[in-house]
């Protein structure tokens, strides 16, 4: 194989050697710590190295061309394989308009470099059709392939905008590649797989695939073995997994195989795809780990694609560990499924236990199911087969903030002890294993939910019980299906209702936790593991599934309130956090606290803490939903309403007075009794009499209360 030709610089060869080593090392550290990273995020080597710049060339392929030609626009080549022997980093290979029949199309011989890929595309938007009619293509061959059969992988190549049709084998495949893009292609009437192969750092985006897996037309293959339509797969030589794939924005429909099949692959993102009317499963995960499945619209409306042996439509998202787990294969682990819409499918989200796989690791772990909308499944909306004794038990699985609609059996989870359930709308009934005080039943009140209709039909009406009924999740789900930022009280389901919100940020210092040396607050409660996930304030009693990502900065819960002009009527209350620097943070860690659904107007800003005096801004502030407001209580005594609610912590630095343990607005013996009883019981942890917020009830707390009681501090509010 000719990999380095006259115009190629030595640095391209060095990059290729590096890419090969990195691929086989599986360098997750270099790729980025969080799974589902984009190509740029996952591949810093792309940015760390820049090949020597050279003038980009254009090469042309046209019907009637010849591989003996020069490859210019007036003297084009006949084949892609010839063009790939002369292309260099940054070059573009253009197909001229026409239908190319009678041959297979192979890219074999050249690689691009970081930032200078070799691009293969139609010329100036012309229509290019690669047609396999009459060409002998086996089930393991393809009409268009990008492949290296040497140890050195091909890299930095982009295949764009081609139509590939009528293959007796596969459509577009790749093998031993890295940094490959396949985008905006149309692939149809293919006997086996539509797009897929083995490699690393591969992006398959904005393609349309239909009428693939035609070998199984009308469901003639019974029991399994039909192809996937878009399918990364393992190395056929040594079984090494495919890694770091992004499958995004594709449309897959009217196919006789599994829509998007991720098999023996790691670090894969499947996002923003539309998959409908395929056979058996719309998205299938088989022996995979570190997979993100988000923002996909999946539905079934054409019964022609129902499995004849089952009699119902394809399942939406299904997982399994099929066949024995061989070297290099990892069972289902660290799967994050969120913001997906599933409608009219067989099952919604499911796992089936393949009894033919007797490996002890035939199980699953760390599966997160968040903010999905499952509408009108034929069978179970949620179905996880039991993993029997003798196998690794499922662990660390979570199901929160989902709309889980009716089916013949709404849900069945075989190992419920592996799961945590909360904040789900079980439309018909809450299963016994998923009982939770924050879950409920009832009509989700979609705007116009119709399987096969617009995804926007699954948006919520303003009066939906799902609005602001969810909780924060780990890993975080910061946006909804449409990209709208989620509130700190997120909505249940795939969509967030866009309530207008007033946004406020405040800074205040709590006397009991104040450290003058660092002009900051101590964080002993979070460091000691004492801070609770439940807000202590009945006015906005929320329970979190997680703390914000910067949780080590958290001091304690506080309650922020918007108070009407009378200084008494509370318009809205929000449980939030105060950080080490004194600035408030939302429950998701945002700088601004959001008050959704509260009308713009003039409000006092109030703050409650469980053992400090309640304070309020000295004057009312004009708040508007389009203008975030910030207020700093620390800069002056005149920032506070009432003369006795604040204390000077250091010269010119003012804080909130500690000691109001019973929250009546005064320092009295009633507060002392609370401290005395707790101290006598040797109470520790998250305790109201712990005025210093160090996790201990001791003499230091008494001294704070006694000093402030003698001074007669009080809230002094209306």
DSSP state of 551: G
* Confidence check: pLDDT of 124 > 90: yes
| Residue 547 confidence (pLDDT) | 87
State the pLDDT confidence band at 238, using cuts at 50, 70 and 90.
confident
Q: Is the pLDDT of residue 40 over 50?
A: no
Residue 408: its pLDDT value, please? 60
Instruction: Report the percent of the chain where pLDDT is more than 90.
Output: 81
Domain with CATH 2.160.20 in the chain: 97-458
pLDDT tens-digit series, residues 86-116? 999 999 999 999 999 999 999 998 999 999 9
pLDDT of residue 561: 97
Phi, psi of 81, deg, nearest 5: -60, -40
Whole-number Å distance between alpha carbons of 653 and 646? 10
Q: Give per-residue pLDDT as tens, 304-333.
A: 999 999 899 999 999 999 987 776 678 999
What pLDDT sits at residue 21?
35
Could you report the per-residue pLDDT of 477-496, keeping only the tens digit for each?
999 999 998 988 899 999 99
Answer yes or no: is pLDDT of 586 > 50.
yes
Mean pLDDT of 244-256: 98
Q: How confident is the model at residue 715 (pLDDT cuts 50, 70, 90)?
A: very high
In sequence order, the 6+-apart residues with CB closer than 8 A to the CB of 29 are none
Residue 287 has pLDDT above 60, yes or no: yes
Which regions of the chain carry the CATH code 2.60.40.4130? 501-711
The pLDDT of residue 549: 75
Least confident residue range of 121-125, 321-325, 365-369: 321-325
pLDDT > 70? residue 392: yes
Q: How far is CA 664 from CA 261, 285, 606, 609, 690, in A?
A: 61, 57, 15, 12, 17
Instruction: Tell me: pLDDT of 130 over 90.
Output: yes
The pLDDT value given to residue 546: 79
Report DSSP letters for 448-479, one per residue: S--TTS-GGGGPBPTT-TTTT-----SS---B
Using CB atoms within 10 Å of the CB of residue 373, give its burial: 0 to 12 exposed, 13 to 18 middle, 19+ buried: buried
Strands 128-131 and 98-101: parallel
Residue 48 has pLDDT above 80, yes or no: no
Q: What is the topology classification, in CATH, of domain 501-711?
A: Immunoglobulin-like (2.60.40)
Distance CA 637, CA 633 (A): 8
Confidence class for position 13, pLDDT limits 50, 70, 90:
very low
**Tens of pLDDT along 140-162?**
999 999 999 999 999 999 999 99
pLDDT the model gives residue 12:
32
- Return the residue matching tokens 């093998």: 175
Higher pLDDT, 33 or 370: 370
- The answer to whether the CB of 642 falls within 8 A of the CB of 717 is yes
| Helix%, strand%, coil% for the chain, nearest 5 | 15, 35, 50
pLDDT, mean over the chain? 90
Across the range 121-146, mean pLDDT stands at 97
Q: What is the mean pLDDT of residues 435-448?
A: 95
| CATH pick for 97-458 out of 3.90.930, 3.30.1490, 3.30.70, 2.160.20 | 2.160.20
* Comparison of pLDDT for 33 and 257, the residue scoring more: 257
Q: How far apart are alpha carbons 363 and 648 in whole angstroms?
A: 59
Provide the b/e sequence for 432-448 (b: ≥16 CB within 10 Å).
eebebebbbeeebebee
pLDDT at 24: 31
Determine the pLDDT at residue 8.
Answer: 32
Model pLDDT for residues 402-441, shown as the tens digit of each residue: 999 876 677 999 999 999 999 999 999 999 999 999 999 9
């Amino acid at each position: 194989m000719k990999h380095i030709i006259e115009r190629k610089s030595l640095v391209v060869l060095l990059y290729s050697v590096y890419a090969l080593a990195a691929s086989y090392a599986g360098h997750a550290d270099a790729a980025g710590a969080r799974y589902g990273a984009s190509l740029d995020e996952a591949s810093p080597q792309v940015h760390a190295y820049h090949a020597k710049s050279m003038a980009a060339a254009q090469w042309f392929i046209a019907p009637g061309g010849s591989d003996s030609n020069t490859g210019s626009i007036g003297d084009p080549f006949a084949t892609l394989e010839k063009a790939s022997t002369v292309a260099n980093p940054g070059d573009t290979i253009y197909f001229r308009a026409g239908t190319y029949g009678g041959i297979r199309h192979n890219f074999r011989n050249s690689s691009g470099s970081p930032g200078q890929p070799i691009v293969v595309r139609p010329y100036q938007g012309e229509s290019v059709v690669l047609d396999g009619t009459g060409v002998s293509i086996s089930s393991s061959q393809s009409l268009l392939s990008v492949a290296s059969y040497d140890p050195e992988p091909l890299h930095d190549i982009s295949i764009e905008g081609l139509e590939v049709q009528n293959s007796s084998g596969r459509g577009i495949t790749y093998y031993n590649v890295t940094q490959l893009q396949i985008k905006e292609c149309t692939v149809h009437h293919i006997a086996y797989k539509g797009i897929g192969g083995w490699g690393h750092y591969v992006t398959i985006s904005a393609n349309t695939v239909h009428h693939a897996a035609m070998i199984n037309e009308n469901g003639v293959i019974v029991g399994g073995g039909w192809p996937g339509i878009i399918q990364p797969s393992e190395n056929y030589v040594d079984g090494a997994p495919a890694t770091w794939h992004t499958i995004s924005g594709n449309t897959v429909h009217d196919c006789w195989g599994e829509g998007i099949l991720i098999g023996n692959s790691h670090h894969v993102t499947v996002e923003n795809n539309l998959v409908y009317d395929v056979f058996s499963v719309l998205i299938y995960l088989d022996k995979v780990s570190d997979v993100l499945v988000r923002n996909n619209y999946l539905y079934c409306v054409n019964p022609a694609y129902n499995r004849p042996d089952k009699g119902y439509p394809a399942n939406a998202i299904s997982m399994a560990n099929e066949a024995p787990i061989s070297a290099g294969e990892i069972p289902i682990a660290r799967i994050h499924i969120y913001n997906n819409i599933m409608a009219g499918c067989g099952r919604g989200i499911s796992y089936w236990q393949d009894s033919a796989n007797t490996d002890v690791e035939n199980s699953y772990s760390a599966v997160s199911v968040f903010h999905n909308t499952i509408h009108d499944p034929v069978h179970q909306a949620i179905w996880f087969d039991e993993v029997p004794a003798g196998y690794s038990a499922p662990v660390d699985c979570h199901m929160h903030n989902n709309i889980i609609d009716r089916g013949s059996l709404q849900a069945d989870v075989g190992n419920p002890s592996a799961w945590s359930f909360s904040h789900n709308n079980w439309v018909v009934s809450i299963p016994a294993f998923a009982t939770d005080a924050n879950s409920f039943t009832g009509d989700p009140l979609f705007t116009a939910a119709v399987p096969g209709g617009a995804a926007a039909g699954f948006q919520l009406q303003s009066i939906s019980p799902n609005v602001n009924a969810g909780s924060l999740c780990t890993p975080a789900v910061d946006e909804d299906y449409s990209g709208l930022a989620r509130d700190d009280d997120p909505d249940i389901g795939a969509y967030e209702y866009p309530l207008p919100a007033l946004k406020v940020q405040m800074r205040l210092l709590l006397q009991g936790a104040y450290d003058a040396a660092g002009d900051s607050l101590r964080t002993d409660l979070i460091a000691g593991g004492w801070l609770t996930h439940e807000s202590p304030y009945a006015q906005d009693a929320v329970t979190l599934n997680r703390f914000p990502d910067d949780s080590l900065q958290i001091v304690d819960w506080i309650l922020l309130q918007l108070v009407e002009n009378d200084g008494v009527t509370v318009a809205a209350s929000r449980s939030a956090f105060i950080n080490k620097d004194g600035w408030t943070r939302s429950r998701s860690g945002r700088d601004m606290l959001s008050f959704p659904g509260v009308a713009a107007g003039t409000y006092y800003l109030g703050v409650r803490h469980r053992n400090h005096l309640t304070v309020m801004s000295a004057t009312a502030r004009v708040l508007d939903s389009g203008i975030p407001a910030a207020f700093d209580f620390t800069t002056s005594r005149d920032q506070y309403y009432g003369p006795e609610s604040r204390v000077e912590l250091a010269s010119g630095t003012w804080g909130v007075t500690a000691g109001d343990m019973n929250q009546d607005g005064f320092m009295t013996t009633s507060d002392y009794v609370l401290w005395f009883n707790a101290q006598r019981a040797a109470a520790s942890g998250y305790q109201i009499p712990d005025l210093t917020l160090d996790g201990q009830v001791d003499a230091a707390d008494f001294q704070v209360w006694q000093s402030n009681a003698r001074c007669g501090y009080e809230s002094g509010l209306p």
